[in-house]
């Protein structure tokens, strides 16, 4: 009987710790959502279009990005006339990269497309995470530069895993680490965010990103212009026929 009571007490204690942790994660996420504009303003954003500059290994190139909430993501970068295109949609994706020897668009492997679906979500995977089927776990704090940031792990319904580091003062995301599937092997893509700016609609967006790919290559992106709710033809996400 004593052993049973001890076991029940341990179970209750464990459940209580998990509940407190979940509540704490929710509290941090709520403050983050408020910091980037609040639920109503985020829900009002249906499309985002960006004009940017991408820098890699000392070379600069113009870049554009289109996001239709929950439906499609497309990035296009022009290196001296060679266009690198990446597309993710709610049912797949494709890419074209002449620098990798591709002469025509190729469909993304299913797992890679699933891993990229977080890019479709305006507000990010933390926004309405439970409704999206995502699970969150507060993993304490960890330094990002000079900031001791909250560390929250997100697992999507597609089993994609990401870890977000949130500034305890501004509640902006400082860094995200995404487990990705590179050709033939798993890897991690790290993204740091900075220069958060409020758009005319009140949605706050990071206008600078630094992306470190699994291969160790670092890309720096500076967004020059952002437009909210610009009309987007859904055909822009269609893969051209070979």
Does the pLDDT at position 154 exceed 80?
yes
Q: What pTM was computed for the model?
A: 0.84
pLDDT at 19: 41
Q: Compute the average pLDDT of residues 146-160.
A: 90
Question: For the segment 164-206, what is each residue's pLDDT rounded down to a tens digit?
Answer: 999 999 999 999 998 865 555 567 889 999 999 999 999 999 9
pLDDT at 57: 86
pLDDT at 184: 53
Question: For the segment 54-112, what is each residue's pLDDT rounded down to a tens digit?
Answer: 998 888 999 999 999 999 999 999 988 889 999 999 999 999 998 878 888 999 988 88
pLDDT at 188: 87
pLDDT at 203: 96
Distance CA 210, CA 162 (A): 16
CATH code matching the domain that covers 11-237, chosen among 3.90.1170.50, 2.60.120.10, 3.20.20.100, 2.50.20.10: 2.50.20.10
**Sequence spans of domains, the chain:** 11-237
Mean of per-residue pLDDT scores for the chain: 87
Does the pLDDT at position 151 exceed 50?
yes
Of residues 241 and 126, more confidence is placed in 126
pLDDT at 114: 82
Does the pLDDT at position 6 exceed 50?
no
What is the residue-wise DSSP string for the chain?
-HHHHHHHHHHHHHHHHHHHHHHHHHHHHHHHHHHTT-HHHHHT--EEEEEEEEEETTEEEEEEEEEETTTEEEEEEEETTEEEEEEEETTEEEEE-GGGT-SS-EEPPHHHHHHTGGGG-TT-TTTTTTTTT-EEEEEEEEEETTEEEEEEEEE-TT--EEEEEE-TTT--EEEEEEEEEETTEEEEEEEEEEEEEE-TTS-EEEEEEEEE-TTS-EEEEEEEEEEES----GGGGSPPP-
Of residues 227 and 10, more confidence is placed in 227
What pLDDT band is residue 18 in, cutting at 50, 70 and 90?
A: very low
Mark residue 225 as left, alpha or beta (left: phi above 0; alpha: psi -120 to 50; beta: remaining): beta
What pLDDT band is residue 115 in, cutting at 50, 70 and 90?
A: confident
């Amino acid at each position: 009987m004593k052993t049973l009571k001890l076991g029940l007490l341990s179970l209750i204690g464990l459940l209580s710790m998990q509940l407190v942790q979940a509540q704490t994660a929710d509290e941090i996420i709520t403050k983050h959502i408020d910091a980037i504009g609040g639920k109503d303003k985020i829900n009002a954003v249906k499309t985002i279009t960006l004009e940017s500059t991408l820098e890699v290994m000392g070379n600069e190139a113009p870049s554009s990005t289109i996001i239709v909430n929950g439906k499609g993501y497309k990035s296009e970068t022009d290196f001296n006339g060679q266009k690198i295109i990446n597309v993710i949609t709610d049912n797949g994706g494709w890419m074209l990269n002449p620098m990798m020897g591709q002469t025509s668009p190729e469909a993304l492997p299913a797992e890679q497309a699933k891993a990229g679906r977080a890019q479709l979500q305006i507000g990010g995977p933390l926004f309405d995470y439970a409704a999206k089927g995502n699970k969150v776990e507060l993993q304490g704090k960890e330094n990002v530069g000079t900031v001791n940031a909250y560390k929250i792990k997100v697992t999507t319904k597609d089993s994609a895993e990401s870890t977000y580091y949130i500034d305890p003062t501004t509640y902006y995301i400082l860094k995200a680490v995404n487990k990705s599937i590179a050709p033939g092997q798993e890897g991690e893509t790290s993204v740091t965010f900075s220069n958060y700016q409020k758009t005319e609609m009140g949605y706050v967006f990071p206008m600078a990103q630094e992306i470190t790919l699994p291969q160790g290559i670092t890309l720096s992106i500076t967004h020059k212009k952002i437009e909210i709710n610009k009309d987007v033809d859904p055909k822009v996400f269609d893969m051209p026929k070979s």
